[in-house]
Amino acid sequence: NPLQGAQFVLAAHRINQLPADEGAEVAFAGRSNAGKSSALNALTGHRGLARTSKTPGRTQQMVAFSLPPIVHGEALPALEARLIDLPGYGYAKVPEALREHWRREIDRYLHERRSLRGVVLIVDIRHPLKEFDRMMLDFCLRTELACHVLLTKADKLSRNQASQALAALRKELPVGTPATVQVFSSAAGTGVEEARSAVMQLLEG
Ligand code: GTP
Ligand code: MG
C-alpha cells in the first residue's frame, strides 16, 4: 500500500497554518458526513488516523497527513507528499458563522494552494451530486484540477444499484470534467485498491 505510513502532521483553522506549500498534496472534500475521514483511514490503512463520527460536522479543521516522499528517479529530488482532510461542507447545525468561515477557507484553499494536485471528492452513493459536489466538479472543470470521485457507502446498496448509480453519475458529469469516478465503501473495503492508485496518480501527476 503506497499510502501506508501516513502520519498526522497538524490541524489548521486557516490555510496559512497548513504545512509549507511545497511538494504535492491531495485534498479530501465532500459534504458533511459523506465519509471523508473514513475513506482517508481506509486508504491509508490506519483505522484511527482521521477522526470519524456519526455526528455530521465532526471535522472542523483542515487536517494534514504526511506521506512517504515520492521518488521520481535518482536524478530528481524526492517530493514531499500530503493528504488533507477538509471539513465537511454544509451541515445545517454548524453555526452559520463557522459554516461561512469554512466556505471561505475551502474556497481560498482550492484557489491558492499551489501544491494541490487533485481532489478526492467523497459522495454518498445514495445522495449523488448535491450542490457542493456540482460546485466542486465545476471548479475542477474551470481550473483543470484533477478530481477522483468516490461513490462511497456502497455497502448500503446492492451491487446492481451501485453500478446504476455509477453509470448515472458518469452520464451527468459535464463534458470535459477532469474527473474519474468509482464505487467505494470504507466499511466493506470495496474499491480501496483502485482508489489508492487514483490518489497516487493525482500526487504524481
Ligand atoms: P464530517 O467530518 O463530519 O464532515 O464527516 P466525514 O465526511 O468525515 O464522515 P465520516 O468519515 O466521519 O463518516 C460519517 C459516518 O458515516 C460515520 O458514522 C461512518 O461510520 C459512516 N461511514 C463512512 N463511510 C462508510 C461506508 O463506507 N459505509 C457505511 N455503511 N458507513 C460509512
Ligand atoms: Mg471528517
DSSP assignment string, the chain:
-TTTT-EEEEEESSGGGSSPS-SEEEEEEEBTTSSHHHHHHHHHT-TTSS---SSTT---SEEEEEEEEE---TTSPPEEEEEEEPPPB--TTS-HHHHHHHHHHHHHHHHH-TTEEEEEEEEETTS---HHHHHHHHHHHHHT-EEEEEEE-GGGS-HHHHHHHHHHHHHHSPTT--EEEEE-BTTTTBTHHHHHHHHHHHHH-
192 in a domain, yes or no? Answer: yes
Q: Decide: 58 in ligand 1 pocket, CB within 6 A.
A: yes
Residue 197: what are its φ and ψ, rounded to 5°?
-60, -40
Ligand with smallest separation from the Cα of 191: 1
Q: What is the CATH number of the domain that holds 199?
A: 3.40.50.300
- pLDDT of 100-145, one tens digit each? 899 999 999 999 999 999 999 999 999 989 999 999 999 999 999 9
pLDDT band with cut points at 50, 70 and 90 for residue 36? very high
2 in a domain, yes or no? Answer: no
Written as nine digits, the cell of 199 is 490518489
pTM recorded for the entire structure: 0.95
28 in a domain, yes or no? Answer: yes
Domain extent for 60:
7-204
174 in a domain, yes or no? Answer: yes
Q: Are 184 and 166 in contact (CB under 8 A)?
A: no
Output the pLDDT for position 95: 85
Q: Decide: 190 in ligand 1 pocket, CB within 6 A.
A: no
85 in a domain, yes or no? Answer: yes
CA-based nearest residue to 191, from 120, 117, 138, 140: 120
Q: Decide: 53 in ligand 1 pocket, CB within 6 A.
A: yes
190 in a domain, yes or no? Answer: yes
- Report CA(51)–ligand 2 centroid distance (Å): 6
Label residue 35 left, alpha or beta by phi (over 0 means left) and psi (-120 to 50 means alpha): left
- Report CA(37)–ligand 2 centroid distance (Å): 4
1 in a domain, yes or no? Answer: no
Q: Are 177 and 141 in contact (CB under 8 A)?
A: yes
* Closest C-alpha to ligand 1, atom 9: 35
Percentage of the chain surpassing pLDDT 90? 77
ipTM > 0.95 (yes/no): yes
* Closest C-alpha to ligand 1, atom 21: 35
* Closest C-alpha to ligand 1, atom 24: 35
150 in a domain, yes or no? Answer: yes
Q: Decide: 56 in ligand 1 pocket, CB within 6 A.
A: yes
CA-CA-CA-CA torsion sign (107, 109, 112, 114): negative
Q: Decide: 186 in ligand 1 pocket, CB within 6 A.
A: yes
Number of domains in the chain: 1
